[in-house]
Amino acid sequence: MSHLDILLPFGLPPAEIAGDVLRELKTPALASLVARTNAHRREEFDALSRALPHETWLARQFGLEESMRKRGSPPVAAAILRAYGLTADAGSWFLLHPVHLQLARDHVLLIDQRQLSLSEQESRALFDAAKPLFDEIGKPLLYGDARTWFVRADNWDDLCTATADAAAGRNIAMWLPQGSAERDWRKLQNEIQMHWHTHPVNEKREHRGEKPVNSVWLWGGAAATADTPPVRYSELFNLPGWTNALGRSSSAPVKNGTASDIIAAAPKHGLTVLDQLIEPALAGEWSEWIDRLHALESAWLAPIADALKTGKISQVSLVMTHGTDLAEFITGRYSSKKFWVKPSLSRLAR
């Protein structure tokens, strides 16, 4: 018996445009997986949740949901830090992303970090400019890569934070860290913004017509000594971002591969994450979203649907999300052969 869970973040179109978007899709394999099911369910999330539905679902799979009730965002900073080969033997650690905040008419928006195209050289220069500010208040700052830094802040342990993707494109007022140390964080954040305002990196970026890196985003607080909960999967495939670090700290092997590779591996209970739709969905670029979903249909969904019919995979659980919704479609070998059920995407609309 080979079971495969497929997570497709932002695979659900928003309700207000679902009809128009679904009419443009030519995805027979997806339509079959959605319509010919053993079971399916829907779950709604609070619009002000500090993690997106797919992030919350992933946190559940890795045993982190209870910790999120206090921390807001998944407590993943320490695991990611170690995945970079850095040391975190004690204390509370947070992720820190260099970001762009955009001033709107009456509020400030967080721009998706994927749109920044920040080089290692630029990020290092900004990191070096910010580090003395952290040193002054006894908060060690570590560099992971251009988009990922880490800060140890033991007395900020109660901060409730939001993931960068949950806040992307929104008024940040509702998504800023909350807790007894929130003023200390805001003071430090403001000082960083002032130091970077006229930094040569940003002057050059603006001269090239690129968005300046004018702030930082804090989330993912976790104790360095926190235990890694057991994972429910036998094998993990193509895990992006923070889930890759969690996977590597678990007992399950983490691999990268194509649909054919996963089918050939015949995992007892595998998980793969297809995250290609997140960026266009956050940007509201639905034409690009459609193109990427068509590519996923060809490369992933069609081969997996065929593997179901031939018995190479016994069951597929397809989990699709949007900003406040999650839908799960469970399909087995026999239900995939329900020829009397017409393949349809109608279940994707609300």
Domains of the chain: 3-59+230-348 (3.40.720.10), 64-223 (3.30.70)
User: For position 335, what pLDDT does the model report?
Assistant: 78
Q: Which two tokens stand for residue 22?
A: 């679904």
> What SS3 state is found at 213?
coil
Distances (CA, A) of 254 to 65, 240, 245, 251: 21, 11, 10, 9
User: For position 99, what pLDDT does the model report?
Assistant: 98
Alpha helices in 155-301 (DSSP H): 164-167, 182-197, 200-207, 241-248, 259-265, 278-283, 286-296
User: For position 259, what pLDDT does the model report?
Assistant: 96
User: For position 337, what pLDDT does the model report?
Assistant: 76
Residues 82-137: tens digit of each pLDDT = 989 998 889 999 999 999 999 888 889 999 999 999 999 999 999 999 999 999 99
φ/ψ (deg, to 5) at 317: -110, 110
User: For position 247, what pLDDT does the model report?
Assistant: 84
pLDDT-flagged residues of the chain (< 70) = 251
Largest CA distance in the chain: 69
Residues 294/26, Cβ–Cβ less than 8 Å: yes
User: For position 261, what pLDDT does the model report?
Assistant: 94
User: For position 66, what pLDDT does the model report?
Assistant: 85
User: For position 197, what pLDDT does the model report?
Assistant: 94
In sequence order, what are the residues at sequence separation of 6 or more whose Cβ sits closer than 8 angstroms to the Cβ of residue 302? 28, 29
